[in-house]
Structure 1
Amino acid sequence: MATRALILVEGTRGSGLPYVQTALRLGLHPIALSADPAQYDYLATEGVEAIGVDTDNLDALIRQCSQLRATYDIAGITSSKESVYATVGKLCRYFDIPGPNPASIEQCCDKFVQRQLLAEAGVPIPAYRVAANAADVESSAAELGLPVIVKPAVGSGSMGVRLCRSIDELAEHTAYLLNGKHIWRSPPKVLVEEFAQGPAYYAAVMGHEVVGIGAADYDPPPHFVYRECTIPALLTDEEHKRIADVSLSCLPALGLDWGPKSIEVRWTKRGPVVIEVNPRLSGAPTPQLIKLAYGVDLISEHIKLVIGDEPNLRKRESQVAAGRFLVADSDGTLDWIDGASRAAAVTGVTEVRLYVEPKAPIVRKGDYRDCIGHVVAASPSHAQTEAILQRAVASIGWSIKPLPTVDEREKPGGPSP
């Protein structure tokens, strides 16, 4: 009998390894397909079969999977990376195996199209405009009124997202997006949106079921870098129901009837307003928080769905789980970072992960790449979990050596440029 293989197209820093480990635990043989397999160090660590292939080329992926099918029983194909998820859906359709609807994924990943479809369905969203050039951005902001959120219509991880509170900030960020500094995977299209103010939440959804609602906290604007996420969010029954209802109302509007979704919401003066629908599993550490809080392993249940098995979303735990991100506070070179072992020894801490090592360059981007690690903790109460996190994070320290200035580099005997 041929070995059952799970094809993993690309990966992510946070969830790539858990997908590999879960596949192995389920008795599957994971095979990674990537344009650059070396970027995922966990593949070598886990001894995962990895194949280099252009993952932006559907025909190349079909050829590679067809070759693999001569040796393996391909039980499923999936990914934890949003940018290739529509391609994964097309592969699944080609090989007639369970997977997401690629057309639904594509229209959801274009945030302008997503906004249009949600608005047509009557889902509460921020007021918005789409712009193709600087003049459009300026006129859109004038119509909506400052402050506004300005962001690429296609992208993830808060890349290129900024709150613009003045004409100068608007012009600066527009120039950043349209004058070559931001990397576009598609023709430039900018969303200008009303700034929906209020507490941030997100719903983790599998199929048509809200598995959990978390509270999200960010570093101060103008950027939106995650600082902390907590599951379950501290909500009344009525608030929970309203967020769940508005989250589920997005699914038929966007044609998302299969698999995992993550729906971001702000609780504003008019109640819950949908900020964004992500047509894939939430990034790390949310799957771990769901597992700690409820005993539901979303990655395992997603893979079961991928290979044609029935997922089990029954809750078996009742805890409060939270993750705190360690965010770089300056640019330069990481001189040292320590205290991870002390943090891990704090009772209630379940994971401490550092993403960088000493001597690594630190260049803040105002998005998820500013995070240099995270700490996860769980306990029976919100107050206790927060106290555990505070103690653990306080035991981790680092130093970032500033980059030399032009004057310092030009001094005799100064650092080389």
Structure 2
Amino acid sequence: MKHILFVESREYLPGIEFCKQQNWKVTLLTTTPEFYQKEKLAMVDDVFMVETYDEQKVVEFVRQYHARQHLDAVLSFSDLYVIPATAAAKAIGVPTMDPEATKRARNKWITRELCKQHGIASPSFYNAASLQQALEAAEEIGYPCIIKPIDGASSLGVKCVYNPQELERAYADYMENRHLGKGLYGSERLLIEEYIEGELFSVETLTCNGATHVLGITDRQLIGFPGFIESAGAFPIVGQHQDSSIPLVLRCLQVLGIDFGAAHTEIVLTAKGPLIIEVNPRMGGGPVHDLIYYATGIDLVKEIIKIHMGMPPELQPVHSKVAAAKILYATVNGTLRSIKQHQPILEQMDVKHFKVSKIGQQVKVPESNFDSIGTLVVVGDTESAARSRLELIEQQLEFIVE
């Protein structure tokens, strides 16, 4: 029996059904089993409590466990745990992304430095280890500018600031709230970077057997300015900028040394062309997987697991549609009591996914992507058709928050 180990994951344990359909043994390492959906956690064969925020402890556990229970793959679908997962996979010799490449991509400052050294277009930046350095960097770059953690996720701590007072508040707020859960803390170092105006996109790729496959480009829409919270997107987006964006992204992945697995690279399209914003050494978050699946029929989660298990991926589209998503948030703080659907959402033919979480829980006006309360995905024959239907269906929803 083949055996796969996950170092943490997303709460719904993506890919667990596929693994069990293949009759594979599944092991999960986590600090917090209660984080996961109970029905999905029940499908896992073995769950071990490990300090997954500690790379060396994960590597040592996996080495010893592999000696007793042979492992065929080690991976993580969580941005915050790709570093220990790749290090552990390399330690036992199973397919994985180069752990050093993972670290370079996860560290936004190192990514910026490499882009600068290799002439890859990206914003101007400084690495600040203190408030004083942040203030000096902002003066050098000029206001408005962006403050962001060098190893953050889901837009936590990312703000556009217009003066020293706003920078000081944003700096203090991040330092007081850099606990990411499960024992993880964001770095005390921050990037101060040039504010770039333009449209935000992401390029979705999968690398294996020495080749990087471009699955397509996702449009990313934001709310919450001066914060940056993802609110909507569509896939695939076709435009003239593809000719300049895709080669830029492929060059950046090569420079970082990303030689295996999924990558989700964010770019901003400016009047002068595309700029690299960040490279995430994992599958895109939020609704990106669903968008790719409903637009093309490619199940990216399944294909990622397959290449880790030494199987060839199937990346030929089954059909050609455009999928559009709306990430749902509360508009007031309180307890989410219920949802009114003026017309049953899932009964509408072009709705492919509609899920709301946190019923009965506290919700708030969003401060990061973590504050999402649900996702709605629709499909259409064209981008404009999908977006129009998405807007119309969203109007049929009403969230009751006390």
Q: TM-score, normalised by structure 1?
A: 0.89
The match for 1:256 among 258, 267, 282 is 258
Deviation per residue, 1:224-266 (Å, 9 max, x gap): 1111110011413xx1121111110111211111110000011
Matches within 5 A, 1:87-102: 87-102=84-99
Deviation per residue, 1:183-216 (Å, 9 max, x gap): 3725510111111111111000111121110111
Does residue 107 (structure 1) correspond to residue 107 (structure 2)? The answer is no
**Aligned position for 1:18:** 14
**Aligned position for 2:232:** 228
Q: CA deviation at 1:63?
A: 5.3
**Aligned position for 2:128:** 131
Deviates more, 1:367-376 or 1:328-337: 328-337
Number of residue pairs the alignment of both structures matches: 393
Q: CA deviation at 1:340?
A: 9.6
Deviates more, 1:307-316 or 1:32-41: 307-316
Larger Rg: 1
Q: CA deviation at 1:35?
A: 0.7
Q: Distance in 2 between matches of 1:111 and 1:340?
A: 44
Q: CA deviation at 1:73?
A: 4.1
Q: Distance in 2 between matches of 1:191 and 1:119?
A: 15
Letter in 2 for 1:224: F
Q: Contact 1:147 / 1:165 at 8 angstroms: preserved in 2?
A: yes
**Aligned position for 2:289:** 287
Letter in 1 for 2:257: G
Q: Contact 2:149 / 2:186 at 8 angstroms: preserved in 1?
A: no
**Aligned position for 2:79:** 82
Q: Contact 1:346 / 1:392 at 8 angstroms: preserved in 2?
A: no
CA distance change for structure 1 residues 173 and 63 in 2, over 3 Å: closer, same or farther?
closer
Q: Distance in 2 between matches of 1:121 and 1:12?
A: 34
Deviation per residue, 1:81-105 (Å, 9 max, x gap): 1211111111111111101111111
**Aligned position for 1:413:** none
SS at match of 1:296: coil
SS at match of 1:18: coil
**Aligned position for 2:2:** 4
Q: Contact 2:229 / 2:366 at 8 angstroms: preserved in 1?
A: no
Q: Distance in 1 between matches of 2:340 and 2:129?
A: 45
Q: CA deviation at 1:62?
A: 4.5
SS at match of 1:303: helix
Deviates more, 1:21-30 or 1:365-374: 21-30
Letter in 1 for 2:36: Y
Q: Distance in 2 between matches of 1:58 and 1:154?
A: 15
**Aligned position for 1:206:** 206
Q: Distance in 2 between matches of 1:121 and 1:84?
A: 28
Letter in 2 for 1:78: L
Q: Contact 1:346 / 1:391 at 8 angstroms: preserved in 2?
A: no
Deviates more, 1:154-163 or 1:186-195: 186-195
Q: Contact 2:327 / 2:374 at 8 angstroms: preserved in 1?
A: yes
Query: Sequence identity, in percent?
Result: 24
Deviation per residue, 1:118-162 (Å, 9 max, x gap): 111111001111112222111211111111111111111101001
SS at match of 1:154: coil
Tell me the C-alpha RMSD between the 2 structures. 2.1
Q: Contact 2:217 / 2:238 at 8 angstroms: preserved in 1?
A: no
SS at match of 1:74: coil
Q: CA deviation at 1:331?
A: 1.8
Letter in 2 for 1:210: V
Matches within 5 A, 1:61-72: 61-62=58-59, 64-65=61-62, 68-69=65-66, 72=69
Runs of 4+ with deviation above 3 angstroms: 42-46, 57-73
Matches within 5 A, 1:271-350: 271-339=273-341, 342-350=344-352
CA distance change for structure 1 residues 186 and 221 in 2, over 3 Å: closer, same or farther?
closer
Q: Contact 1:301 / 1:312 at 8 angstroms: preserved in 2?
A: yes
Q: Distance in 2 between matches of 1:64 and 1:353?
A: 36
Does residue 216 (structure 1) correspond to residue 220 (structure 2)? The answer is yes
**Aligned position for 1:371:** 372
Deviates more, 1:128-137 or 1:150-159: 128-137
Deviation per residue, 1:330-369 (Å, 9 max, x gap): 22222333439822122211111112112x1124452112
Q: Distance in 2 between matches of 1:173 and 1:256?
A: 32
Deviates more, 1:281-290 or 1:122-131: 281-290
Q: CA deviation at 1:29?
A: 2.5
SS at match of 2:71: strand
Letter in 1 for 2:349: T
Q: CA deviation at 1:115?
A: 0.6
Q: Contact 2:366 / 2:372 at 8 angstroms: preserved in 1?
A: no
Q: Distance in 2 between matches of 1:292 and 1:340?
A: 24
Q: Distance in 1 between matches of 2:83 and 2:135?
A: 32
SS at match of 2:127: strand
Q: CA deviation at 1:285?
A: 1.6
Letter in 2 for 1:99: T
CA distance change for structure 1 residues 314 and 340 in 2, over 3 Å: closer, same or farther?
farther
Q: Contact 1:86 / 1:101 at 8 angstroms: preserved in 2?
A: no
Does residue 27 (structure 1) correspond to residue 27 (structure 2)? The answer is no
Does residue 116 (structure 1) correspond to residue 116 (structure 2)? The answer is no
Matches within 5 A, 1:351-366: 351-358=353-360, 360-364=361-365, 366=367
Matches within 5 A, 1:116-195: 116-178=113-175, 180-183=176-179, 185=185, 187-195=187-195
SS at match of 2:392: helix
Q: Distance in 2 between matches of 1:225 and 1:12?
A: 19
Letter in 2 for 1:392: I
Q: TM-score, normalised by structure 2?
A: 0.92
Letter in 2 for 1:24: K
Q: Distance in 2 between matches of 1:187 and 1:118?
A: 21
CA distance change for structure 1 residues 286 and 152 in 2, over 3 Å: closer, same or farther?
same
Q: Which runs of 5+ in 1 are unaligned?
A: 402-417
